[in-house]
Structure 1
Amino acid sequence: MSRPATLTGRGGAFPAALCDNGSVHSYRDEGIVLAGHKLGEADRIVTVLTRSHGLVRAVAKGVRRTKSRFGSRLEPFMLVDVQCHIGRNLDIVTQVELIEPFARGIGADFDAYSAASVMAETARSITEAEPVSRAQFLLLVSAIRSLCKGEHPPRLALDAYLLRAMSVAGWAPSLLDCAQCGAPGPHRAFSAALGGAVCSACRPSGAALPDTDALDHLAALLTGDWESAESSDLHDQIDGSKLVSDWVSWHLERNIRSLSVLERT
């Protein structure tokens, strides 16, 4: 990954560390930890979605040792100020400062933790295929912070995040007019393959047939109308969650493993 010669941190722009030949050899950025995997006996590979560098994978050396300086700061869902040295295959974490310890607030609530896991996996899938997206970073941080504070029911917060993240990525569903011919809605059928709500003339075989109130519920989540979303009938919320799950799986061309686990619980 190429790095800019000037980087942006919490205090604004500052020069990157340069080699003698002028090339960048380290960088610093704000990021939210998405995942971590063991490497050897004491190291961990961490995946971090950053504000200015997109998705970063880096080795955190010695973080699994008891006396590690910053092991606990690199747990999933932690918002951190991280400095990395650019490596040949993977970057190396050299310094970490904690900004917000979201993991501590989420870890005690199973529903919130499950929702955050889906958010993190989805963010990773989206940003693997697109260039640096500050909007995706800010959206994820806002959603995880909301979960941590318990502002909304976790499943509704998750569905709202998924709809918005997919929309930012260019996959916004049509929830009123027909996604194929533009016929004014509301329409009863919904097809992820065709772009969302579809009229009776465009409806393909196998299209979902949710109540129109379920689509209204999704529109409320997408636009941030929490009063309407939280007062929706439980049946419409459940139908809406299924539509969101199908939408994400179709457009990312993969199943989100943590979402499948959540739906079985």
Structure 2
Amino acid sequence: MPLYREQGVVLRTQKLGEADRIVTLLTQGRGLLRAAAKGVRRTSSKFGARLEPFMVADLQLYEGRTLDTITQASTLGAYGPHISGDYDRYRAGSVMVETAERLSEGGPAPEQYRLLIGALRTLAQGSIPAALARDGYLLRAMAAAGW
């Protein structure tokens, strides 16, 4: 089971057992990826906050049979707290990550990855209204997907 490194945006998380989580990521090189993060729901977790939605992280994973496992995570972009603090931004960010997940199901999508990071960065800065950032992302993402 080889180790590999990847950069990814956390799209969503799901509970797995008592202390684990399944993290859905849009990665730069592998596209859409689901991975298990062991022990992240414990208070003593080393990388629990780095694997929340809207966060960009550099990850070390190892391949498993059904799910890969995250062994290390470091933050590259902490957009989650800024987006989650405002309802309009959170709503727009949720639409963005769901769209990215639906448009990236076929395999590696580096253009979708770059678009999503730029849109989340703009949304977290709050320099333009959330609805405009959301609509601009949706139009660019659909054009990149061939719509």
Q: Same fold (TM over 0.5)?
A: yes
Give the partner amino acid of 1:35: R
Structure number with the higher strand fraction is: 2
- Which structure is richer in relative contact order (CA contacts within 8 A, separation 6 or more)? 2
2: CA distance between counterparts of 1:61 and 1:96? 12
Q: Which has the larger radius of gyration?
A: 1
TM-score normalised by length of structure 2: 0.97
Matching of residue 31 in structure 1 with residue 8 in structure 2:
yes
Identical residues among aligned pairs (%): 52
The structural deviation recorded for 1:143 is: 0.2
The structural deviation recorded for 1:104 is: 1.3
The alignment of Structure 1 onto Structure 2 pairs a total of residues equal to 147
The structural deviation recorded for 1:38 is: 0.1
The structural deviation recorded for 1:39 is: 0.3
1: CA distance between counterparts of 2:115 and 2:3? 26
Partner residue of 2:17?
Answer: 40
Query: Gapped runs of 5+ residues in structure 1?
Result: 1-18, 20-24, 172-265
Given the alignment, which residue of 118, 131, 134 partners 2:107? 131
Cα RMSD between the aligned structures?
A: 0.8
1: CA distance between counterparts of 2:127 and 2:116? 15
Deviations 1:105-164 (A, max 9, x none): 111111001100110011001111x22111000000000000000121101110111111
Give the partner amino acid of 2:110: R
2: CA distance between counterparts of 1:48 and 1:101? 15
Aligned 1:1-265 pairs, distance under 5 A: 25-128=2-105, 130-171=106-147
Query: Gapped runs of 5+ residues in structure 2?
Result: none
2: CA distance between counterparts of 1:35 and 1:111? 18
